[in-house]
Amino acid sequence: MNFQWTSRILGVVAVVALVAAAVLVKPVAGQSAAETETNRLLKGAVDMHFHMDPPGPSGRGIQADIAQVRIAKGRGLRGLVLKHHNEPTGALAYHLRLEVPNFELFGGTVMNLPNGGINPAMVEFMATQIKGNPGRVVWMPAGDTEAEIKGSSNPSRPFVAVTGKDGQLLPGVKEIIATIAKNNLILASGHILATEALLLFTEARKAGVKHMIATHAMDLTGKMTIPQMKEAAALGAIIEFDFRNIFDDNAVRADAIRAVGPEHCLISEFWTKNNPREYGAPEGTYAFITNMRKKGITDRELDMMVKDNPAKLLDLPAQ
């Protein structure tokens, strides 16, 4: 095929793509463009990181509640993974499945101090002793890591370690990895250091763990560089980014998604406003979609990150 015909064909393809995009953003009757686009993105999405920590004694710190679970379902989401830093959520997911039927609800446990730290018995119980197996994710410490405690206002209090003085994973962590592999659970890195997360993923892959997440990959103490994210992806981990801050810091997280590849990423926590809290609101979601397109992220790639990759992690059938 000569250059002239190739150019003509590429021109036709470009026109078709523009027409398709124009059709996509055309609002349906009675809906704004923001509502139409929000419905398209969120229909079938799964939020892998839906915090349900209740407020503390002061009343501060509330995350989501049952009303927000219903809002998520009303927005068209396929399901949620419920997370609480200091209590397991497998049983909570079981009970909420009864209250919010026809909605995929899962839970997990974080290896924080109130949950027993590195606690293989809890992971075994969650994996085998709750009807319907709603407990699916095991997060390494998040808030109780050594780096977080030593960098806090009370650096002498206990922390949860995942490696020993020799720099290798502790036996209890390896036991948890074995339980995750045996029961086809999901291993998430929590807030451990990037170097520790790569040790974790390497061991997990050797042990036969199929599903892994690099939690908040560019945030908190577990910040990863792009080469580290690529290494984690090569080991089979899905790299997690938060909807709420992808465009902070000159959109470095959106650039990282492009560099790592959306096929290796997921986006979670679809909060569009914090005060008052709004989940998946059309205006904020539409702004997010628009900005992602400007960064070269296509609608199909967005679907990979909010629908396809979460569904694969949870072994849900394709829609």
pLDDT in tens, 253-306: 999 999 999 999 999 999 999 888 899 999 999 999 999 999 999 999 999 999
Question: What domains appear along the chain, each with residue ranges and CATH number?
Answer: 46-313 (3.20.20.140)
Identity at 182, one-letter amino acid code: K
Structure confidence by residue, pLDDT tens digits, 206-228? 999 999 999 999 999 989 999 99
Angle at which helices 226-234 and 252-260 cross, to 10°: 40
Residue 274 is predicted with a pLDDT of 85
- Length of the chain in residues, anyone? 319
What's the pLDDT band for 36 if we cut at 50, 70, 90?
very high
Cα dist from 100 to 59, 68, 73, whole Å: 26, 11, 8
Mean pLDDT value of segment 10-21 = 39
**HEC assignment per residue over 62-108:** CCCCHHHHHHHHHCCCCEEEEECCCCCCHHHHHHHHHHCCCCEEEEE
Distance between CA atoms of residues 187 and 201, nearest Å: 8
CB neighbour list of residue 74: distance below 8 Å, 6 or more residues apart? none
Distance between CA atoms of residues 127 and 98, nearest Å: 19
User: Which of 240, 237, 280 has the alpha carbon at shortest distance from 257?
Assistant: 240
Residue 11 is predicted with a pLDDT of 44
Provide the pairing of β-strand 211-214 with 265-268. Answer: unpaired
Peptide bond into 276 cis (omega under 30): yes
DSSP code at position 1: -
